[in-house]
């Protein structure tokens, strides 16, 4: 953490100690609340479905109880099994022994729509609840279901349709054989008690249930349904996998009795409707949490910005002190620790500036005078050496090479002598672009002599640019750098292309090579070294040229350097016209 900036440290403290606990607390609170509400809703749904199941079972138990009375009434069973000699005899027996039993329960239980006895006795006249077993009856669904499922005498419950004067009527039929006292006409009489569908459907409509409830028969068909699903889903197969993906399903067996075995109550409740109140609470939690998060965040950011910006201002000024800039930090008179630190720093910089002005600069002037005196002595000693000896020696070697027909060697020695003569002659600080190109040509020919086909070069210069005055040897070091650090380091060799042109009131000089190039770190080191006037490796020639150009042109010249590893380096120099620059007095005197 010692290497992490203060702003980031405060943000980390806020995130770890404030933001994450608040978010986690709200998430846990919401999850626990959702779980508890969901469990309560499920408990309410289960209780409501249990009530529907009990109400349906009560209706069926009423029918079962009535059927038991018919089933065990000896007088009634004897009356419907007796063979009558005439219709009048049957009518007398009907009112004496049958009628009271048949209509005893209909007025009491409003849900019972009809009680009928289907008898094989041919001597009984149909009517008053007594009906013969005809082929149409035998073809009915309830009769066939009794024949298939009630062979052991057990009653069955089935949904059926009765034809009435008002049209088809759907009912739930409780069907039972009256076989307690045996049979006399080849088949047993059948008791059929019809319970109105509306009574059962009313049980399914429970206002507290936010979903659909289905009454499913033993064959898996939907016998009754609640809500809008009632008409669409009747008599369709109930498929749990067809329910919605987010539906909460609840299943309740009706009862463990023979005539209701296989019947069940199925519920499908969309979770988003069941937890609708929870979702509303979730929005409330979010709205409550947002201010708790945003307000501390803004306050922390405000405090952090205040601290970090003021510290950054002090740090920036400290770095400027390294470059001999002793300006104080401008800020109001704050009384906190950072304000006190700023005041102490300002006082320290003013003291350092005072010391430098009084002691350091005086010492520099004294040493500068000593250096100039030593340089004068050195120039005096150098003047005693006749440079013409070196030129004459090179000229003698060149002539001997020509005599021996070594013209290429003689040419290279001539170029080297020309460069040597110009480099020693500093009576002129300025030369034309044409003269600069002569030196560059001599250098490139020497390099081409060394590397052969590995080096190629081209020079393009506008006629207008050839007469421009530039500082002496201001482009040659960049050509030398392209040859030594670009082409020489490249295994495949390369080319150096030079371009001189005039744009407006400025001269543009470009040196481009396709040699080894530089890594981004090395390029940034060169750029930084030039800006800070610090050493940056073995590119001393470039640094010296940059210093000279800065001396002549100040901030009015431009030097742009770009390089890509294994692709080459390009240097672009922009120099204003000489008339537009202010020369130092020493330079004007030498030019």
**HEC readout, 243-276:** CCCCEEEEEEECCCCHHHCCCEEEEEEEHHHHCH
Q: What is the DSSP letter of 157?
A: E
Question: Can you give the residue range of the structural domain that contains 556?
Answer: 448-590
Residues 423-439: pLDDT tens digits?
666 567 788 999 999 98
- Which of 256, 273, 290 is the C-terminal boundary of a domain? 273
- Which of 253, 273, 293 is the C-terminal boundary of a domain? 273
Residues 217-251: pLDDT tens digits?
888 888 888 764 444 445 566 766 556 666 788 88
Which two tokens mark 409? 């060697």
Please report which confidence band the pLDDT of residue 384 belongs to, taking 50, 70 and 90 as the band edges. Answer: very low
Query: Does residue 123 sit in the same domain as residue 190?
Result: yes
The answer to whether residue 398 sits within a structural domain is no
Query: Does residue 348 sit in the same domain as residue 243?
Result: no
pLDDT at 389 over 60: no
Taking CA atoms, 553 is separated from 40, 276, 436, 477, in Å, by: 86, 78, 18, 18
pLDDT top residue among 98 and 164: 98
Mean pLDDT within 109-121: 86
- Which of 382, 409, 428 is the C-terminal boundary of a domain? 382
Which two tokens mark 309? 């910006």
Query: Does residue 238 sit in the same domain as residue 332?
Result: no
Dist CA 352 CA 321 (whole Å): 9
Please report which confidence band the pLDDT of residue 512 belongs to, taking 50, 70 and 90 as the band edges. Answer: very high
Mean pLDDT within 162-191: 84
Query: Does residue 262 sit in the same domain as residue 335?
Result: no
CATH number for the domain harbouring residue 161: 3.30.450.20
Helix (H) or strand (E) holding 369: helix 361-383
Dist CA 201 CA 10 (whole Å): 66
pLDDT at 497 over 90: yes
Mean pLDDT within 493-505: 93
Query: Does residue 56 sit in the same domain as residue 189?
Result: yes
pLDDT top residue among 587 and 577: 577
Query: Does residue 62 sit in the same domain as residue 170?
Result: yes
Taking CA atoms, 350 is separated from 245, 336, 355, in Å, by: 77, 22, 9
Mean pLDDT within 186-191: 87
**HSE on the CB side for 578, CA within 13 Å?**
16
pLDDT at 589 over 50: no
Q: Which residues are CB-neighbours of 368 under 8 A, at least 6 positions away?
A: none
Q: Please write down the long-range contacts of 398-402, taking CB distance under 8 Å and 24 or more positions apart.
A: none
pLDDT at 588 over 50: no
Mean pLDDT within 38-51: 83
The answer to whether residue 248 sits within a structural domain is yes
Taking CA atoms, 197 is separated from 45, 172, 203, in Å, by: 23, 6, 10
pLDDT at 578 over 60: yes
Q: Of the ranges 270-274, 348-352, 359-363, 545-549, which one carries the lowest mean pLDDT score?
A: 359-363
Strand segments, DSSP code E, in 82-126 are 112-119
CATH number for the domain harbouring residue 540: 3.30.565.10
The answer to whether residue 473 sits within a structural domain is yes
Dist CA 165 CA 162 (whole Å): 10
pLDDT at 525 over 80: yes
Query: Does residue 204 sit in the same domain as residue 265?
Result: yes
Residues 556-576: pLDDT tens digits?
899 999 999 989 999 999 999
Count of Cβ atoms closer than 10 Å to residue 494 Cβ: 22
Please count the structural domains in the chain: 3
> Taking CA 573 as the corner, what is the angle to CA 571 and CA 578, rounded to the nearest 5 degrees?
160
pLDDT given at position 175: 92
Mean pLDDT within 387-399: 59
Dist CA 398 CA 414 (whole Å): 7
pLDDT at 194 over 70: yes
Which two tokens mark 578? 């000489």
Mean pLDDT within 179-204: 84
DSSP 445-492: HHHHHHHGGGEEEEEEE-HHHHT-EEETTSSHHHHHHIIIIIITT-TT
Please report which confidence band the pLDDT of residue 422 belongs to, taking 50, 70 and 90 as the band edges. Answer: low
Please report which confidence band the pLDDT of residue 149 belongs to, taking 50, 70 and 90 as the band edges. Answer: low
Please report which confidence band the pLDDT of residue 180 belongs to, taking 50, 70 and 90 as the band edges. Answer: confident
Helix (H) or strand (E) holding 523: helix 520-532
The answer to whether residue 17 sits within a structural domain is no
Q: Are 6 and 307 in contact (CB under 8 A)?
A: yes
Query: Does residue 511 sit in the same domain as residue 377?
Result: no
The answer to whether residue 40 sits within a structural domain is no
pLDDT given at position 427: 62
Q: Are 224 and 204 in contact (CB under 8 A)?
A: yes
The phi, psi pair for 261, rounded to 5°, reads -70, 130
Mean pLDDT within 352-358: 75
For all residues of the chain together, what is the average pLDDT?
Answer: 79
Count of Cβ atoms closer than 10 Å to residue 207 Cβ: 6
Query: Does residue 94 sit in the same domain as residue 198?
Result: yes
* 90-119 as b/e: b if 16+ CB within 10 A: beebbeebbbebbeebeeebebbbbbbbbb
Q: Which residues are CB-neighbours of 349 under 8 A, at least 6 positions away?
A: 317, 321, 326, 327, 328
The answer to whether residue 376 sits within a structural domain is yes
Please report which confidence band the pLDDT of residue 581 belongs to, taking 50, 70 and 90 as the band edges. Answer: very low
Q: Which residues are CB-neighbours of 24 under 8 A, at least 6 positions away?
A: none
The answer to whether residue 484 sits within a structural domain is yes
Query: Does residue 129 sit in the same domain as residue 192?
Result: yes
Please report which confidence band the pLDDT of residue 508 belongs to, taking 50, 70 and 90 as the band edges. Answer: very high
Which two tokens mark 385? 């050496």
> Which of 289-298, 523-532, 537-546 has the largest mean confidence?
523-532
> Taking CA 513 as the corner, what is the angle to CA 460 and CA 461, rounded to the nearest 5 degrees?
10
pLDDT at 585 over 50: no
pLDDT given at position 398: 64
Identify the CA nearest to 475 among candidates 559, 566, 586, 375.
559
Taking CA atoms, 170 is separated from 196, 366, 376, in Å, by: 7, 124, 130
The answer to whether residue 226 sits within a structural domain is yes
pLDDT given at position 460: 94
**Which ranges in 94-155 belong to alpha helices (H)?**
99-102, 135-138, 141-149
pLDDT given at position 561: 93
Query: Does residue 59 sit in the same domain as residue 193?
Result: yes
Dist CA 537 CA 519 (whole Å): 14
pLDDT given at position 500: 96
Helix (H) or strand (E) holding 432: strand 430-432
pLDDT given at position 554: 82
**HSE on the CB side for 577, CA within 13 Å?**
8
Query: Does residue 221 sit in the same domain as residue 332?
Result: no
pLDDT given at position 241: 57
CA quadruple 309, 312, 314, 316: dihedral positive or negative?
Answer: negative
């Amino acid at each position: 953490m010692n290497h992490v900036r203060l702003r980031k440290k405060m943000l980390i403290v806020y995130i770890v100690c404030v933001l994450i606990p608040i978010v986690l607390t709200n998430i846990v609170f919401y999850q626990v609340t959702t779980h508890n509400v969901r469990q309560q809703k499920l408990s309410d749904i289960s209780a409501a479905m249990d009530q529907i199941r009990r109400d349906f079972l009560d209706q069926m138990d009423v029918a079962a109880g009535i059927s038991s009375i018919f089933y065990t009434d000896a007088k009634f069973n004897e009356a419907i099994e007796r063979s009558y000699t005439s219709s009048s005899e049957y009518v007398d027996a009907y009112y004496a022994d049958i009628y009271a039993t048949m209509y005893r329960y209909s007025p009491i239980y409003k849900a019972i729509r009809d009680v009928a006895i289907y008898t094989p006795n041919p001597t009984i006249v149909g009517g008053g609840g007594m009906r013969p077993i005809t082929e149409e009856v035998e073809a009915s669904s309830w009769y066939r279901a009794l024949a298939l499922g009630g062979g052991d005498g057990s009653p069955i419950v089935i949904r059926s349709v009765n034809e009435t004067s008002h049209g088809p009527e759907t009912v739930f039929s409780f069907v039972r054989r009256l076989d307690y006292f045996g049979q006399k006409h080849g088949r047993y009489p059948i008791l059929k008690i019809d319970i109105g569908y509306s009574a059962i459907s009313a049980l399914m409509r429970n206002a507290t249930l936010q979903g659909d409830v289905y009454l499913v028969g033993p064959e898996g068909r939907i016998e009754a349904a609640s809500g809008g699903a009632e008409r669409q889903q009747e008599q369709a197969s109930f498929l749990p996998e067809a329910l919605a993906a987010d539906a909460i399903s609840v299943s309740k067996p009706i009862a463990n009795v023979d005539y209701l075995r296989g019947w069940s109550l199925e519920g499908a409740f969309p979770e988003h409707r069941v937890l609708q109140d929870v979702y509303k609470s979730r929005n409330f939690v979010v709205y409550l949490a947002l201010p708790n998060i945003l307000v501390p965040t803004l306050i922390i950011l405000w405090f952090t910005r205040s601290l970090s910006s003021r510290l950054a201002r002090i740090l920036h000024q400290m770095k400027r002190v390294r470059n001999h800039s002793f300006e104080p930090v401008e800020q109001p008179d704050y009384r906190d620790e950072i304000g006190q630190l700023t005041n102490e720093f300002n006082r320290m910089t003013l003291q350092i500036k005072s010391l430098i002005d009084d002691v350091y600069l005086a010492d520099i002037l004294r040493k500068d005078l000593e250096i100039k005196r030593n340089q004068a002595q050195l120039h005096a000693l150098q003047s005693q050496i006749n440079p013409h000896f070196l030129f004459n020696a090179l000229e003698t070697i060149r002539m001997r090479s020509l005599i021996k027909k070594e013209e290429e060697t003689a040419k290279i020695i001539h170029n080297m002598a020309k460069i040597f003569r110009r480099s020693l002659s500093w009576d002129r600080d300025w030369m034309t672009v044409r003269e600069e190109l002569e030196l560059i040509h001599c250098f490139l020919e020497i390099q081409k002599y060394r590397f052969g086909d590995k080096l190629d070069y081209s020079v393009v210069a506008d006629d207008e640019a050839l007469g421009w005055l530039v500082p002496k040897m201001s482009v040659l070091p960049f050509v030398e750098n392209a040859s030594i650090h670009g082409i020489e380091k490249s295994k495949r060799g390369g080319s150096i292309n030079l371009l001189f042109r005039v744009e407006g009131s400025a001269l543009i000089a470009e040196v481009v090579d396709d040699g080894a190039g530089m890594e981004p770190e090395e390029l940034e080191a060169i750029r930084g070294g030039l800006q800070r006037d610090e050493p940056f490796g073995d590119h001393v020639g470039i640094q010296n040229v940059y210093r000279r150009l800065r001396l002549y042109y100040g901030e009015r010249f431009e030097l742009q350097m770009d390089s890509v590893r294994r692709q080459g380096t390009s240097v672009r120099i922009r120099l204003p016209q000489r008339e537009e620059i202010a020369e130092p007095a020493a330079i004007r005197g030498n030019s």
